[in-house]
Amino acid sequence: MGTIGSGILLETGTNEVEILELFIDEGGYTGYYGVNVAKVLEIITMPAEVMRPPHLRGSFVAGIFNHRDRLVVLIDLAAWLGRTRAENMQPKVLITEFNGIVTAFLVSGVTRIHRATWSDIKPLDGYTEDLSNSVTGVITLNGRLVFLLDLEKAISDVDPRLAISASRTIANTVTGDYKPIHILHADDSLVIRKTVKQRLEENRIFAVESVANGDEAWSHLAEVKKKCGANGETLSTYVDVVLTDIEMPGMDGYRLCKLIKDDPELKSMPVILFSSLITEKLLHKGAAVGADGQFSKPDLTLMRFIKEAVEKRRAAEQPEGSRLERGGVGQPG
């Protein structure tokens, strides 16, 4: 089918998204799934030669193939989802780029690209979130339910090094009276929220409040503003920095960032995008909505960036002579 492109330019920060609808034919049942078009480079027919190296990790990995002078891992999406794809049609392969790598996904076929908003996508919540760790949300398209897939989970299942690790810390060089950095973290993945909270809080200088999407983050900030107005407190009493994913049902990270930067009371608060969609090609989108930093998952060198950004803001807000002593930090990676 060639390079992906709908011909529609989405304005950043409007909460719009383009979803590529694909399907898996199981022979009697067809499952429909969706992925963000921003992750898809092109769609091709099944390569003529797919090699299976010995001791291949993951029963759902179909092999590797040469594409545009690059070896690409091919993931059988049906097998990863625990399904059995019927061999009654010529399958298609999605070439994707996210988390800083190019990966391919084998599917039965694709239908079309849909233009929607993140508010059209319903997040999994409560016990439904525990039913499947491969789905991030559900949307109704053409009268049928379409499951939004967590492709990041698929590649982390292939290579655990591509998942966010919960073992490494940054050097803790602060003094005992150092004021903790309060982080509001928004991500639709329960696993990511738990892991990021653990990774950040093990450094003792961070305190993390986790929410599931941009809507919840924006509501939390509205409550903080109301509380500060009533008590005469500063915003940093509750939130120093917002760390947000981009792809989230309800409200995406671009829209959240734009709302914060357009708000007179919130605009000085650092907003950091932490997403698999942070690539050289898409950095301009974060810049367009005023993001202070952009980091690709699973790169948690952003911890140093957060510390430096918050301390810079604190220093600017403190009267001369009463500023907190800053701990030594390295340059953001």
Tens digits of residue pLDDT in 202-221: 878 899 999 999 999 999 99
Tell me the residue ranges of DSSP E strands in the chain.
Answer: 2-3, 16-25, 30-36, 40-45, 61-66, 71-76, 92-98, 101-107, 109-117, 122-123, 135-141, 144-149, 181-186, 206-211, 241-244, 271-275, 293-296
Kindly tell me if the per-residue pLDDT of 33 is higher than 70. yes
Q: Label residue 134 by pLDDT band (50, 70, 90).
A: confident
Q: In whole angstroms, give the CA distance from residue 65 to residue 47.
A: 7
Structure token pair of residue 209: 């409040």
| Average pLDDT estimate for 317-330 | 46
Helix (H, G, I), strand (E, B) or coil at 37: helix
pLDDT of residue 244: 97
CA 321, CA 48: separation in Å to the nearest integer?
A: 70
pLDDT > 70 fraction of the chain, expressed in percent and rounded: 85
- Strand pairing category for 61-66 and 30-36: unpaired
Domain ranges, ordered by start, for the chain? 2-160, 164-317
Predicted pLDDT at 325: 44
Fold of 2-160: OB fold (Dihydrolipoamide Acetyltransferase, E2P) (2.40.50)
Name the one residue in this structure whose structure tokens are 């608060």: 269
CB 158 within 8 A of CB 61: yes
Is the predicted pLDDT of residue 186 greater than 90, yes or no?
yes
Sheet holding 30-36, edge to edge: 109-117, 16-25, 30-36, 144-149, 135-141, 122-123
Pick the range with the lowest mean pLDDT from 106-110, 120-124, 157-161.
157-161
Is the separation of the CB atoms in 323 and 315 below 8 Å? yes
Confidence of residue 297 (pLDDT cuts 50, 70, 90): confident
* 3-class SS of residue 43: strand
Higher-scoring residue by pLDDT: 270, 311? 270
Q: How many Cβ atoms sit within 10 Å of the Cβ of residue 305?
A: 22
Please report which confidence band the pLDDT of residue 332 belongs to, taking 50, 70 and 90 as the band edges: very low
- Of 21-35, 83-97, 158-172, 223-237, the poorest mean pLDDT is in 158-172
pLDDT at 128: 57
Closest CA to 74 of 101, 105, 99: 105
Question: 């009493």: which residue's tokens?
Answer: 237
In the predicted structure, residue 326 carries a pLDDT above the cut 50: no
Please tell me the predicted confidence (pLDDT) of residue 261: 97
Helix (H, G, I), strand (E, B) or coil at 211: strand
108 Ramachandran zone, left/alpha/beta (phi>0; psi -120 to 50):
alpha
When pLDDT is cut at 50, 70 and 90, the band that residue 112 belongs to is very high
Alpha helices in 91-147 (DSSP H): none
Its CATH architecture, for the domain 164-317, is 3-Layer(aba) Sandwich (3.40)
Mean of pLDDT over the chain: 85
Q: 6, 115 in Cβ contact below 8 A?
A: yes
pTM for the model: 0.81
Residue 226, Cβ neighbours under 10 Å: how many?
Answer: 10
